[in-house]
């Protein structure tokens, strides 16, 4: 039977819908949603790190709800044994002097995996895990390596691995092409939603078939690069090197495919400098200081809209939290500042995130005025 593969624009529309469905439940997780979908399109593993309770599990679970195929999820602890991840050892096999694992329903048979608290894995698990993630192969005991179907592994952790951690852990950390830390909800409006919305679980109606995902990966890989985007990436790498940040060659090359996937996700026909925003989550090795520096360099050279939005939103929150609405001059100053931010937003190339941010800023402005009227 021949399966119909949707054309590029139709698939992009599918992803755009999934993106908005995820964003409708999750508060202030737009960037992370984009990262998840980019990982899914590029089929590159993703790691999210934050203190507990920042919706890592909610996001990653919701993402995997939209995909077909077999799934495997586990919360790792230092007591988790290899059998729980790779499958139990066959008793029948042992009777016949063979060491063989029964992998039904376990990681070696999964198309998609979610490893929660991934760095808690014991060293008995780490080596095999590395092979599965990196080479996508597994030795079930028959003596020969077999290919695993794994397309994407998403993982979460409450902390980055310690700088002095064992080599295996560092190797595992490096297997995640995309890595991001999450912050708790920042805005007042977001906090209100968190407190008073009963349900945060996104309602996902989009279902991506394996053929859709394969097509998306191919379309993304075929997206051309504009000359300015190529130049921007090269300049970014040079400037990072000057700052002492030199991600390995493999990571640099992976950034190319990731930017293509991100551009595809944003409905683009070619990679533009603004799509290099996503490389901020690829082009570093040390999580302690490098991510911020990389983000600054990329923002300076490629000037992506997403990064400008984050910066402006941060300013909005600073204005709101430092304004006493009972004091008229303060409110007037804050309103002027928000108006100015809205003007800056209006000058950005419009997309759904810009529109949402503008609506948010205007709503804050309206509420600010109302509150100050009430205070009089
Ligand atoms: N940004 C957010 N958006 C929506 N819900 C959130 C958010 N942050 C926390 N929550 C709520 O807190 C719960 C705990 O999140 P969870 O996914 O278990 O966090 P984590 O895996 O990061 O520890 C979620 O199920 C949700 O109800
Ligand atoms: Mg969790």
Do 346 and 247 lie in a common domain?
A: no
Do 47 and 179 lie in a common domain?
A: yes
Looking at the CA of residue 156, tell me the nearest atom of ligand 1: 21
218 within domain boundaries: no
Which CATH number covers residue 73?
3.40.50.300
Map tokens 């923002």 to a residue. 299
- 314 CA to centre of ligand 1 in angstroms: 21
206 within domain boundaries: no
Do 91 and 228 lie in a common domain?
A: no
What six digits make up the tokens of 133? 């993630």
Residues 6+ apart with CB under 8 A from 266: 275, 351
Do 116 and 172 lie in a common domain?
A: yes
CB of 200 sitting under 6 A from ligand 1: yes
- 55 CA to centre of ligand 1 in angstroms: 3
Which CATH number covers residue 277?
1.10.8
202 within domain boundaries: no
| DSSP track, 320-370 | HHT--TTSHHHHHHHHHHHHHHHHHHHTSPP-HHHHHHHHHHHHHHHHHHH
Do 154 and 95 lie in a common domain?
A: yes
In angstroms, rounded to a whole number, what is the distance separating the alpha carbons of residues 70 and 190? Answer: 34
Residues 6+ apart with CB under 8 A from 181: 48, 49, 50, 160, 287, 291
What six digits make up the tokens of 83? 């059998």
Q: How many domains does the chain have?
A: 3
CB of 151 sitting under 6 A from ligand 1: no
CB of 177 sitting under 6 A from ligand 1: no
Instruction: List the pLDDT tens digit at each of the 376 positions of the chain.
Output: 455 678 888 999 999 999 999 998 999 999 999 999 999 999 999 999 999 999 999 999 999 999 989 999 999 999 999 999 999 998 988 898 888 899 999 999 999 999 999 999 998 899 899 999 999 999 877 777 899 999 999 999 999 988 777 788 889 999 999 999 999 998 888 899 999 998 999 999 999 999 999 999 999 999 999 999 999 999 999 999 999 999 999 999 999 999 999 999 999 999 999 999 999 999 999 998 899 999 999 999 998 888 888 889 989 988 988 888 888 888 999 999 999 999 999 998 888 888 989 999 999 999 888 888 887 7
Contact between 19 and 34 under an 8 Å Cβ cutoff? The reply is yes
Looking at the CA of residue 50, tell me the nearest atom of ligand 1: 22
In angstroms, rounded to a whole number, what is the distance separating the alpha carbons of residues 285 and 290? Answer: 7
Q: How many CA atoms lie within 13 A of 169 on its CB side?
A: 16
CB of 65 sitting under 6 A from ligand 1: no
- 116 CA to centre of ligand 1 in angstroms: 14
Residues 6+ apart with CB under 8 A from 364: 189, 316, 320, 338
- 68 CA to centre of ligand 2 in angstroms: 22
199 within domain boundaries: no
203 within domain boundaries: no
Domain that holds residue 240: 223-301
Helix (H) or strand (E) holding 153: strand 152-157
CB of 27 sitting under 6 A from ligand 1: yes
Do 53 and 28 lie in a common domain?
A: yes
Residues 305, 308, 312, 314: what is their CA dihedral angle, to the nearest 10 degrees? Answer: 110
């Amino acid at each position: 039977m021949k399966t119909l593969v949707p054309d590029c624009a139709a698939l992009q529309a599918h992803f755009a819908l999934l993106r908005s469905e995820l964003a409708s439940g999750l508060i202030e997780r737009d960037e992370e949603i984009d990262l998840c979908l980019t990982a899914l399109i590029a089929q590159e593993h993703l790691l999210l790190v934050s203190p507990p309770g920042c919706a890592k599990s909610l996001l990653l679970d919701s993402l995997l709800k939209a995909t077909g195929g077999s799934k495997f999820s586990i919360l790792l602890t230092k007591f988790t044994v290899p059998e729980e991840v790779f499958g139990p050892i066959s008793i029948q096999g042992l009777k016949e002097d063979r060491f063989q694992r029964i992998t039904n329903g376990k990681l070696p048979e999964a198309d998609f995996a979610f490893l929660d608290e991934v760095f808690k894995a014991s060293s008995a698990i780490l080596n095999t895990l590395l092979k599965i993630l990196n080479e996508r192969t597994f030795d079930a005991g028959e003596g020969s390596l077999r290919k695993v179907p794994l397309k994407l592994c998403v993982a979460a952790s409450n902390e980055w691995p310690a700088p002095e951690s064992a080599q295996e852990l560092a190797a595992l950390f490096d297997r995640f092409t995309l890595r991001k830390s999450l912050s708790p909800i920042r805005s007042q409006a977001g906090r209100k939603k968190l407190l008073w919305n009963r349900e945060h679980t996104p309602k996902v109606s989009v279902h991506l078939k394996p053929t859709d995902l394969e097509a998306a990966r191919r379309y993304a890989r075929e997206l051309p690069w504009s000359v300015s985007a190529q130049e921007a990436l090269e300049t970014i790498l040079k400037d990072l090197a000057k700052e002492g940040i030199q991600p390995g060659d493999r990571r640099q090359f992976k950034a190319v495919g990731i930017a293509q996937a991100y551009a595809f996700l944003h409905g683009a026909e070619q990679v533009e400098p603004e799509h290099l925003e996503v490389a901020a989550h690829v082009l570093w090795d040390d999580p302690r200081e490098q991510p911020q520096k990389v983000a600054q360099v990329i923002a300076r050279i490629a000037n992506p809209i997403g990064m400008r939005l984050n910066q402006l939103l941060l300013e909005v929150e600073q204005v709101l939290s430092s304004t006493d609405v009972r004091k008229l001059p303060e409110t007037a100053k804050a309103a002027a500042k928000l108006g100015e931010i809205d003007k800056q937003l209006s000058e950005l190339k419009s997309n759904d995130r810009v529109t949402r941010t503008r609506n948010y800023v205007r709503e804050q402005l309206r509420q600010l005025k109302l509150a100050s009227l009430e205070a009089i």
